[in-house]
């Protein structure tokens, strides 16, 4: 259940910003310019914001509660034991850039193509989660877990959301019986080579 929730974070993160327009733009706007906006219409700032995003450094360090940029004790409106679990994400520039070159006022996703800007994130993303939970129903959080996943864009036909694949999962939860690597692809790194896109 925790693993499914973790993957949902990634799915929502992919669509956190409005789709970029397909028109070309002569220059690029950077976060430092102060005019790029988040999903709620607030200016994106340099460094970490109050939610845990550092778009300039391609990182997030916060909780499930703050990943939706709304500190309300829920995770995109849902409640549960995982809402206060720690979440760290890192991503490549092709996943979510730290500038706007398409001219739509949002951070760009994907690499430019000859016929305009892609409408989906390309590149790679990692999620690392840690939390505690009540393993025996006595009301105390007596068990600890950690989860790590690497996700890469592979193009149409990928097994995850039709465009992506998981290349590594590590899950540690001694009480739940998990200890180490759940899955690892044969190729090291983050893919984005002929092995992943053929």
Average pLDDT over residues 24-50: 86
What digits encode the pLDDT tens for the residues 134-180?
Answer: 988 898 888 999 999 999 999 889 999 898 999 999 999 999 999 99
What tokens does 28 get?
């690029």
Give the model's pLDDT for residue 17: 39
Q: Check whether 81 has a pLDDT greater than 70.
A: yes
Query: How many CB atoms neighbour CB 19 within 10 A?
Result: 14
Beta strands in the chain (DSSP E): 29-30, 53-54, 59-63, 86-91, 99-100, 124-133, 143-158, 162-173, 178-184
- Look up the domain containing 163 and give its range: 2-197
pTM of the entire predicted model: 0.78
Give the model's pLDDT for residue 1: 47
**Residue (of 194, 74, 82, 178) closest to 127 by Cα position:** 82
Give the model's pLDDT for residue 21: 37
Q: What angle do CA 82, 85, 89 make, to 5 degrees?
A: 115
> Alpha carbon of 111 to those of 18, 101, 153, 161, 167: distances in Å?
16, 10, 12, 19, 21
* 104 vs 193 pLDDT, higher one: 104
**Backbone angles phi and psi of 54, in degrees to 5:** -130, 85
> CA 61 to CA 81: how far, in whole Å?
18
Number of domains in the chain: 1
Q: Check whether 186 has a pLDDT greater than 50.
A: yes
């Amino acid at each position: 259940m925790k693993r499914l929730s973790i993957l949902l974070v990634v799915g929502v993160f992919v669509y956190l910003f409005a789709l970029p327009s397909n028109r070309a733009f002569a220059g690029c706007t950077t976060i430092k310019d102060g005019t790029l906006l988040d999903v709620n219409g607030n200016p994106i700032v340099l460094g970490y914001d109050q939610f845990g995003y550092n778009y300039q450094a391609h990182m997030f360090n916060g909780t499930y509660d703050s990943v939706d940029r709304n500190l309300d004790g829920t995770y995109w409106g849902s409640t549960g034991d995982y809402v206060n679990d720690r979440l760290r994400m890192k991503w490549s520039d092709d996943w979510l850039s730290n500038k706007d070159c398409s001219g739509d006022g949002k951070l760009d996703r994907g690499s430019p193509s000859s016929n305009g800007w892609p409408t989906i994130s390309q590149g790679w993303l990692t999620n690392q989660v840690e939390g505690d939970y009540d393993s025996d129903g006595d009301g105390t959080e007596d068990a600890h877990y950690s989860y790590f996943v690497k996700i890469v864009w592979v193009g149409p036909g990928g097994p995850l959301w039709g465009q992506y694949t998981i290349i590594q999962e590590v899950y540690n939860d001694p009480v739940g019986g998990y200890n180490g690597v759940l899955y690892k692809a044969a190729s090291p790194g983050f893919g984005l080579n002929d092995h992943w896109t053929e």
